Amino acid sequence: MNRIIELINKLEKEHILPKSELAYIIENHTPETDEYLFERARRIREAHYGKDVYIRGLIEFTNYCKNDCLYCGIRRSAKQAERYRLTEEQILSCCESGYALGFRTFVLQGGEDNFYTDELMVKIISEIKSRYTDCALTLSIGEKSRESYEAYFAAGADRYLLRHETADSAHYSRLHPKNLSLENRKRCLSDLKSIGFQTGCGFMVGSPYQTAENLAEDLIYIHELQPHMVGIGPFIPHHDTPFADEKAGTLEMTLLMLGLVRLILPNVLLPATTALGTIHPKGREKGILAGANVVMPNLSPKDVRKKYLLYDNKICTGDEAAECIKCLGNRMNSIGYRLVTDRGDWKN
Ligand code: 5AD
Ligand code: FES
């Protein structure tokens, strides 16, 4: 039998492979072995979640950031970024319109912005959770102390997304300024998980200097951490960053990673990301067909959409949330899946 097919079968059974075997798949997969992998991944995904696709309302509430990650369009040094912050009232009104559209998960995402003190975050979290008792609240606001994470959890936040970006510390330091370390990123993720958050890590595919070994290490780290969610999207250059002239990650490699992650963590919540929809017009559909089961449309007010640009050519920055929901609903139906109104919790 084809060596790749053999390894895919072994991964499905054992949920992890030695690094050399993962790297072998990454370097030698073909369109035929991909089709085989995606078919296995869909079968596993459907055993746990059926044909349901969960929606998360993404509220990008600040694009101020104290960090300077080399890839990111809202890094501190990105002089062209027009900075904005949403008030508590604006955030609540996003939730209100999102709730009416069927969202039962809100994701508060922002740069690392000290304007939002723990006290203010706790106030916003408590307010959202008391108004929408049947909704889950996800935070994606970066690296904090364990104490801060505990305060957010006590206030009612259910989930936390913090991509690890790359599990290789040398690679990590080529993507980030000196004051950031993989070690602290991993500390954050293990704190989040032990506090009780449904926790998400993740990485970019095709980030500068990334090797097949690096991707294999990402998969091994994911298997070690056992997160509830994994965010994977292609790296896409942003014109106002040091990586402006780097190549974007590919559709093929991103889909491969989604399929492999589904085999490693059968019940993981796995989004077909906006970045994937940005590099290919059918990217999100293909992501679902490779094993993903979540989409995260934008709920941010229309006038700030074009300002939260982590990468160039981002889709849906001119559309109302209602249009995106309709569009995504049609897209999912076209491939035999359906958007559902549900908190969409991780299933054990
Ligand atoms: N291309 C693709 N994804 C990016 N992110 C940040 N910058 C880019 C980019 N240029 C991702 C990071 C981050 C998440 C919020 O967005 O992985 O964790
Ligand atoms: Fe936004 Fe299609 S999902 S317009």
Q: What is the pLDDT of residue 100?
A: 97
Please tell me the distance from the alpha carbon of residue 144 to that of residue 191, in angstroms, as a whole number. 10
pLDDT confidence of 147, banded at 50, 70, 90?
very high
Alpha carbon of 329 to ligand 2 centroid (Å): 9
Helix (H, G, I), strand (E, B) or coil at 50: coil
Query: What confidence score (pLDDT) does residue 89 get?
Result: 98
> CA triplet 344, 90, 345: central angle to 5 degrees?
10
What does the pLDDT average to over 307-324?
Answer: 95
Could you tell me which of 99, 45, 111, 106 has the C-alpha nearest to residue 72? Answer: 111
Give the sign of the dihedral formed by CA 218, CA 221, CA 223, CA 227: negative
Q: For residues 222 and 268, what is the distance between their CA atoms, to the nearest angstrom?
A: 11
Burial classification of residue 21, based on how many CB atoms lie within 10 Å of its CB (0-12 exposed, 13-18 middle, 19 or more buried) = middle
pLDDT band at 158 (very low <50, low <70, confident <90, very high): very high
What confidence score (pLDDT) does residue 313 get? 97
Tokens (6 digits) for 346: 């991780």
Question: How is domain 2-340 classified at the architecture level of CATH?
Answer: Alpha-Beta Barrel (3.20)
CB half-sphere exposure, 342, CA atoms < 13 A: 14
**How high does pLDDT run on average in the chain?**
98
Q: Mean pLDDT throughout 301-307? A: 95
Q: Residue whose CA is closest, atom 2 of ligand 1?
A: 235
The rounded distance, in Å, linking the Cα atoms of 187 and 205 is 22
Give the angle 165-37-295 at the CA atoms, nearest 5°. Answer: 50
Q: Minimum-distance ligand to the CA of 205?
A: 1
Provide the pLDDT confidence category of residue 329 given band limits of 50, 70 and 90: very high
Residue 273 tokens read as 């990301």
Per-residue pLDDT averaged across 26-55, rounded?
Answer: 98
- Measured from the Cβ of residue 115, the count of other Cβ atoms closer than 10 Å reads 9
Residue ranges lining ligand 1, Cβ < 6 Å: 71-72, 163, 165, 204, 233, 235-236, 238, 275, 310-311
Which DSSP string corresponds to 112-153? --TTS-HHHHHHHHHHHHHH-TT-EEEEE-----HHHHHHHH
What's the pLDDT at 99? 98
For position 141, what pLDDT does the model report? 98
pLDDT of residue 34: 98
Q: What is the Å distance from ligand 2's center to 325 Cα?
A: 7
The residue count of the chain comes to 348
From 53, 278, 285, 315, mutation site for ligand 2 pocket: most ligand atoms within 8 A of C-beta: 315
Q: Which atom of ligand 2 is nearest to the CA of 295?
A: 3
**Structure-token pair, residue 308:** 């939260």
Q: Which two tokens stand for residue 129?
A: 């959770």
Section 97-123 average pLDDT = 98
Rounded to 10 deg, the angle between the 19-28 and 212-225 helix axes is 130
pLDDT of residue 83: 98
Query: How high is the pLDDT of residue 218?
Result: 99
Give pLDDT, residue 339: 98
Residue-wise pLDDT for 50-63, tens only, equals 999 999 999 999 99
Which two three-digit tokens encode residue 175?
Answer: 């993507």
Q: Model-level pTM greater than 0.95?
A: yes
Compute, in angstroms, the gap from residue 207 CA to the centroid of ligand 1: 10
Ligand positioned closest to the Cα atom of 141? 1
Mean pLDDT to the nearest integer, 64-70: 98
Proportion of the chain above pLDDT 90, given as a percent: 99
What pLDDT, on a 0 to 100 scale, did the predictor assign at position 134? Answer: 98
pLDDT at 53: 98
Question: Which residues sit with their C-beta closer than 6 Å to ligand 2?
Answer: 297, 316, 319, 323-324, 327-328
